[in-house]
Amino acid sequence: MNFIQNINRTWTLFLDRDGVINERLIDDYVKYWNEFQFSEGVLEALRILNLRFQTIVVVTNQQGVGKGKMTIENVGEIHKKMIAEIEKNGGRIDKIYICPDLKHNNPKCRKPETGMGEQAQRDFPNIDFPKSIILGDSASDIAFGKGLGMKTVFVKTKPEDFEKAAQIGYDMEVDSMLEFTALLKNHEV
């Protein structure tokens, strides 16, 4: 947890979406806005994180598109409304990266592969991976962060990934984004 005290305004925050920003639907996908529900404390947390990080991006696997469960337009509409609500509450997301491809096709964009992080760095040249953090609830999020040399924070909302994430090894575990934010506030510079 020592890295928390080093975080300053030059750092970047990478966020997974389902299970971190919003409630994850078990064995389903958030296909429409009316199925999207912010996780408890997320809007408050993002308001605080807005002041702590230079860049905040979302990296999310959305293979429901590849499976035909929803369209890329559905996902775009969800993200548009999600960002509007975040901004209305004083937070921000600088950009959202999605990978709609199926897992079995092994796409470079799909976490644990690092394609979305590399694209974010091309879009935001200020991103320095050793001064970046990924908040994610799956083993693939942790592997993504490790693959890019980030600090990794495991959000414990997906019990089936607890053991896999621990085997990969993460830098910190929290129950929610709000808990992570509280830890940051305790080490303000």
- Name the strands in the sheet holding 95-99, side by side, starting at the edge strand that comes first in the sequence: 95-99, 55-61, 12-15, 132-136, 151-155, 172-174
Report percent pLDDT > 70 for the chain.
98
pLDDT in tens, 105-132: 878 999 999 999 999 999 999 999 999 9
What is the rounded distance in angstroms from the CA atom of residue 166 to the CA atom of residue 79?
A: 30
pLDDT in tens, 28-72: 999 999 999 999 999 999 999 999 999 999 999 999 999 999 999
Catalytic residue set: 16, 18
- The answer to whether 83 touches 43, Cβ cutoff 8 Å, is no
For the chain, the domains span: 2-185
Considering the domain delimited by 2-185, tell me its CATH architecture. 3-Layer(aba) Sandwich (3.40)
pTM, rounded to two decimals = 0.95
